[in-house]
Chain A
Amino acid sequence: MNGSEMQTEPVAPPVPEKAEKAEQAESADFVIGILSDLPPQSITQLCGALRTIPGAPKILILAAQAVGDSVRNEVGGNSSSVSIASWPPLGADVAAGPLQSISAAYHSAFSIGERLGARACCVIASQVAIDPPRWVSEFAQPLLESQCDLVVPSYGHQKFQGLLNSGIMCPLTRSLYGKRIQNPLGPDLGVSQKLFQKITASNRASRNDAAITHPLISLTPAAACENLRISQAYFGSRTYPPPDWTNTSSILVQALGPVFLEMEKRAPCWQRVRGSVSIPAAGPRVAVSGDEATPDVARMIESFQLGVRDLQEIWGLVLPPATLLELRKLARLEAQQFRMGDELWARIVYDFALAHRLRTINRDHLLRSMAPLYLAWVASYANEVKTAGSAAVDQRLERLCLAYETTKAYLVSRWRWPDRFNP
């Protein structure tokens, strides 16, 4: 049964029935938390597709109260194998930042899954156009059939979207943990019972708040370091809101801080890893075409040049003299010739990770001072792929990932002997 068939299926008469609370459910095989603004119609289609899973496993969908009520009215209550419960994620503090609220959502889904004895959990957090039958066969079924412990998503998006992932998160995770994962931080991840129990157990063991694991950040490193099975599934075409390039520093603080903390925690694991291997991937990634505005390269370069002029004192504490020299040379280039070498960028990211670990300066200052460098990389990337097609963009990003891998020896040396090895 596919999505279109689901739409033609006769629907039950609307019953004004309230969605049950997650606490009222007694058992479930699979818990799905929906944090994104998926339209009720998509969730209805998803429910239909989930009912087609062989063996009719009990599935609990956690969704916002209003969405849950609407879907229940359409599909006719919670009588079938798929039930819907209202889900204000426990402790989800939106004011604390989106990454924190999504983290609370994951924790909430994991604790509900653990209580109900679920075999797997997943959270849908991004604005993505899901193809329900495909999602069920490539994402949900491998988890339920115990074929893998972590399913990571890959998305269709335009070349200037998701650049923090393309420029830092993806190549950094690949070089550290040796797995070629396109979106290691999800945010739409599927997790087996084995893995989410590890995460909840490690959080229970943590005595202080700082040591509590950030699921979105920790799941991929935990799975890679514990040699668990990871697979990648095409999630759909993702909608990214237009980026605000003038406010990159806050994004870097929120996203990179937990990643660097996790890196510090997993140092004994990633120091042993050399090279990378591909992971099983279900379904090809679909390139998204269409007009896309090129980032304002001139402004980014101006921001970088200002950083080179004014932030020398701070960068001098973080970056070695050779890197500073290269940055000064880069700042003198014209906008058209502006290119930042992949290895230079990889070394910069590694140096900031090391400074974060050593607390060379206040961590908030450190990550905020990285913003002009990140903008320089974005400007360089934009110059290179301005006219490139999707295959050329993929090749360009693959070269970047390889540069991260070849520069890893530099990171390991500096990490082990930060004072002695300072080229």
Chain B
Amino acid sequence: MWYQVKQALDQSTRLFLTRLANLLPGIVALIVALLVALVLAAIIAVVVRRLLVRMNFDERLVQWGFASVFLWSPMKSPALLVARVLAALVIFCGFLIGVAAFDPDLTSLLARTVFAYIPNIVGALIVLAAGSIIARFLARSVLIGAVNMNFQYGRLLSVGVKWLVIVLTVAMALEHLRISAGIVELAFGIMFGGVVLVFALIIGLNSKELLAKSLERDGKKTSPETVEDPLRHL
């Protein structure tokens, strides 16, 4: 009896140690691949950043009209953002190489799935970026317009517009990523409805002064001379 127990223990220990011994090179390979990728990523990040700084990338970006990228960038430097994104890509590649050391079949399947998913990720990122730019632009337009019309709730209106566009964008991006489509649709419907309700409340609160201003303006427009004309101030 004890002999059989000992046999079973020996067998399971040997099996565990054999499997561990089989796995160990893979783990070491993963660690080495990650370390090499980290070093490579650091070098690439430094080189790319210096190159971009030398090219005045940040200033050029402003000249090309992408000043808003500064707000999302670490330390308000788009050059640093580009360098860090490249470094992250190199580390991710190193991780995939390391995983390949365990089981080439598994990795190839994983790689195939990842690569098949990349167009969706890129599409979602583009939708998110465009949505973010549009949301910021519309929010600023509404805020400035509301302040110039002396609306007390202009900021709320602006935030409402911003979130309306962002909610729509995020829902579109998640739809693109094929993540819980049903839940996303439902959540989007609820949130969109909520934002529209907030809008209705804000417009309701502003309607009194809006009406007063509109009547006042109509009252002033007694002759065609009061048509918008910057020359009258010059």
Contacts and interface: CB of A to CB of B under 8 A. Distances in A.
Interface of A: 97-99, 102, 125-126, 162-165, 169, 183, 185-187, 240-244, 246-251, 254-255, 299, 302-303, 306-307, 309-311, 314, 358-362, 365, 368-369, 371-372
A164 B67 contact: no
Interface in B132-176: 137, 140-141, 143-152, 154-155, 158
Interface stretch (B47-55, B118-126, B225-233): B225-233
B213 to A, nearest CB: 7
A162 B137 CA distance: 32
Given A162-B232, A310-B154, A361-B67, 10 more contacts: A98-B231, A187-B234, A244-B228, A247-B228, A254-B230, A306-B147, A306-B151, A311-B143, A359-B62, A362-B140
B147 A126 contact: no
B154 A241 contact: no
Contact of B63 (A164, A243, A255, A359): A359
Contact of A310 (B147, B229, B231, B233): B147
Nearest to B150: A303
Interface centre among B67, B144, B158 (most CB of A within 10 A): B144
B219 to A, nearest CB: 11
B208 interface: no
B140 A361 contact: yes
Given A98-B229, A246-B213, A255 B234 contact: yes
Label chain A's interface by main secondary structure: helix
Nearest to B63: A359
Contacts of B220: 242, 244
Contacts of A187: 231, 234
Contacts of B231: 98-99, 102, 125-126, 187
Given A306-B147, A360-B67, A369-B144, A244 B234 contact: no
13 contacts: A97-B228, A99-B230, A187-B234, A244-B220, A247-B228, A303-B148, A311-B143, A314-B144, A358-B67, A360-B67, A365-B140, A365-B144, A368-B144
A169 B234 contact: yes
A99 B233 CA distance: 12
